[in-house]
């Protein structure tokens, strides 16, 4: 049941994200006077719809996207500087369909009539909405719930300083009387306020006998302790000899600062763009793993794979499940993990939609930028206005990109079923 709850929460979060993405397009479009005949979440058969004013709002059966229909996306032939010769082409049919939503006298409400800055705002607002969603979720998680940090309250105090059996040397802290749940407050006369203070104080003391202060069951104790020299593996993998007292830190949560949220969001965007830049090679690796015995590396996955991860997060045994105690904190952690996953999806939607290819938002933005640059150049050289860019002529490329996106979705979906990435 927990597994299904995790998948359900992810689907709801994804649908809300898609809905708000389309609101991001629709709201400025309406503000700029563009006629918006339809606003739908999902594709395929319509499950529900209602009309409010001139816009039909609804939900479709396949929750893999959404769309806002903007009237007049493509300029008519008479608005172009160079009139297309073939009026029966795919582009001509698209132009006619785009203008079909405009009643007589509403020609000024066509999207193609917007200025370049307004076109960019309309098309950029959708992806930016996803970025805002991601930032708000991360801010709530990091600033409200907090980041996990090591605590001076001990998770474990090993009875043995080594893993050898039988134990030939008791752990220094265990021999001094410390037990799991105790909180270290001082070492060698130095106050211990954070976990980072402890290894620093132990290193400065070296192997000399000293005293350790700790709180156990609300009572403060001071006991003699002698650090021991042990091999320690550093973060970079190098093994060094260091004085230790053999304790394992607990974990607590520390609210992050606003700047940390900005930095983490920026890092997420940067890493996502790197993944997109390497997408062809990553897809090749996925395809190769399907036809060979090579393990599939962590990387890109479909919504099926993301849903599987959400289910696994929710199905992970909660704290206290084995002892019958309250599992509340465990479920709070799970919800925060699911919200983090939804935030990551929104960052992915933001970055992926900025790829400068139609039918993605980045393709429309690129077309608007080209149109604006062309007009500026014409104005600088005293030439007549070249008019709007004929984006309808890009429909063959648009359909090609659309087919490639479907192929990518099918490949990743199949891989997530037969060779999934798991926690």
CATH number at residue 231: 2.30.42.10
- The answer to whether residues 309 and 367 belong to one domain is yes
- The answer to whether residues 138 and 275 belong to one domain is yes
Q: Are 58 and 48 in contact (CB under 8 A)?
A: yes
Residue with the two structure tokens 């919504």: 303
With respect to residue 31, please indicate whether it lies within any of the assigned structural domains.
no
- The answer to whether residues 315 and 423 belong to one domain is yes
| Whole-prediction pTM | 0.83
| Confidence band of 309 (pLDDT split at 50, 70, 90) | confident
Dihedral of CA atoms 394, 400, 406, 407 in degrees, nearest 10, equals: -160
**Marked catalytic residue, from 22, 294, 312, 371:** 22
CA distance 55 to 246: 67
22 is catalytic: yes
Domain termination site, one of 226, 254, 282: 254
- Give per-residue pLDDT as tens, 387-406: 888 888 888 888 999 999 99
With respect to residue 217, please indicate whether it lies within any of the assigned structural domains.
yes
- The answer to whether residues 372 and 409 belong to one domain is yes
With respect to residue 45, please indicate whether it lies within any of the assigned structural domains.
no
Domain termination site, one of 228, 254, 280: 254
Q: Are 344 and 313 in contact (CB under 8 A)?
A: no
- For residue 300, the model assigns a pLDDT of 85
- For residue 323, the model assigns a pLDDT of 32
Question: Taking 70 as the threshold, does the pLDDT of residue 81 lie above it?
Answer: no
- For residue 392, the model assigns a pLDDT of 84
Between 146 and 265, the higher pLDDT residue? 265
Mean pLDDT of 163-192: 89
Question: Residue 177 is part of which domain span?
Answer: 149-254
Among positive and negative, which fits the CA dihedral 363, 378, 30, 94? negative
- For residue 82, the model assigns a pLDDT of 65
Buried b (16+ CB within 10 A) or exposed e, 60-70: beebeebbbbb
- What DSSP line would sit under 73-138, residue for residue? -S--GGGSSS--S-TTSHHHHHHHHHHTTPPTT-GGG-GGGS-HHHHHHHHHHHHHHHHHHHHHHH
- The answer to whether residues 129 and 276 belong to one domain is yes
- The answer to whether residues 176 and 314 belong to one domain is no
- The answer to whether residues 291 and 169 belong to one domain is no
Q: How far is CA 114 from CA 77, 119, 125, 397, in A?
A: 17, 6, 15, 24
- The answer to whether residues 155 and 132 belong to one domain is no
Find the distance separating the first CA and the last CA of the chain, reported in whole Å.
18
The SS3 call for residue 153 is: strand
With respect to residue 300, please indicate whether it lies within any of the assigned structural domains.
yes
- The answer to whether residues 291 and 423 belong to one domain is yes
With respect to residue 34, please indicate whether it lies within any of the assigned structural domains.
no
Q: Are 286 and 299 in contact (CB under 8 A)?
A: yes
- For residue 324, the model assigns a pLDDT of 34
Question: Taking 60 as the threshold, does the pLDDT of residue 291 lie above it?
Answer: yes
Residue 304 tokens, joined: 């099926």
Mean pLDDT of 227-249: 84
Length of the chain: 423
Residue 219 tokens, joined: 């009572």
Residue with the two structure tokens 């090609």: 400
Domain termination site, one of 221, 254, 287: 254
Residue 71 tokens, joined: 């009237």
- The answer to whether residues 215 and 306 belong to one domain is no
- The answer to whether residues 322 and 336 belong to one domain is yes
Total domain count, the chain? 2
224, with CB counted inside 10 A (0-12, 13-18, 19+), is exposed
With respect to residue 136, please indicate whether it lies within any of the assigned structural domains.
yes
Mean pLDDT of 4-15: 89
With respect to residue 238, please indicate whether it lies within any of the assigned structural domains.
yes
With respect to residue 90, please indicate whether it lies within any of the assigned structural domains.
no
- The answer to whether residues 220 and 142 belong to one domain is no
């Amino acid at each position: 049941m927990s597994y299904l709850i995790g998948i359900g929460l992810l689907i709801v979060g994804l649908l809300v994200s898609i809905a708000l993405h389309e609101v991001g397009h629709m709201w400025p479009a309406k503000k700029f006077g563009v006629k918006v005949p339809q606003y739908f979440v999902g594709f395929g058969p319509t499950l529900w719809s209602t009309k409010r004013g001139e816009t039909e709002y609804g939900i479709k059966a396949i929750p893999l996207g959404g769309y806002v229909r903007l009237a007049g996306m493509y300029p008519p032939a008479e608005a172009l500087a160079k009139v297309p010769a073939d009026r029966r082409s795919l582009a001509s049919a698209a132009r006619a369909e785009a203008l079909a939503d405009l009643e007589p006298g509403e020609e000024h409400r066509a999207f193609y009539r917007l200025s370049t800055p307004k076109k960019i705002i309309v098309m950029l607002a959708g992806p930016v909405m996803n970025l805002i969603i991601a930032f708000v979720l991360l801010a709530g998680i990091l600033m409200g719930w907090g980041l996990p940090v090591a605590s001076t309250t001990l998770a474990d105090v090993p009875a043995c300083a080594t893993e050898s059996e039988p134990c030939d040397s008791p752990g220094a802290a265990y021999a001094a009387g410390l037990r799991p749940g105790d909180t270290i407050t001082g070492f060698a006369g130095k106050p211990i306020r954070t976990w980072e203070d402890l290894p620093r104080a132990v290193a400065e003391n070296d192997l000399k006998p000293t005293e350790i202060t700790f709180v156990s069951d609300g009572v403060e104790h001071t006991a003699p302790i002698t650090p021991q020299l042990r091999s320690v593996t550093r973060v970079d993998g190098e093994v060094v000899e260091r004085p230790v007292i053999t304790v394992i830190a607990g974990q607590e949560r520390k609210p992050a600062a606003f700047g940390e949220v900005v930095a983490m969001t920026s890092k997420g965007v940067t890493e996502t763009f790197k993944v997109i830049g390497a997408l062809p090679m990553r897809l090749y690796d996925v395809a190769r793993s399907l036809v060979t015995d090579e393990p599939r590396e962590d990387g890109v996955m479909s919504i099926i794979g993301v849903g599987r991860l959400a289910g696994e997060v929710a199905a992970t045994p909660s704290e206290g499940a084995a002892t019958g105690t309250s599992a509340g904190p465990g479920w709070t952690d799970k919800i925060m993990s699911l919200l983090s996953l939804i935030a990551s999806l929104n960052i992915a939607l933001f970055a992926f939609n900025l790829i400068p290819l139609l039918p993605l938002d980045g393709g429309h933005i690129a077309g608007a930028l080209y149109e604006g640059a062309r007009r500026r150049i014409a104005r600088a050289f005293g030439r007549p206005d070249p008019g709007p860019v004929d984006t309808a002529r890009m429909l063959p490329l648009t359909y090609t990109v659309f087919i490639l996106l479907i192929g990518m979705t099918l490949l990743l979906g199949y891989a997530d079923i037969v060779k999934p990435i798991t926690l």
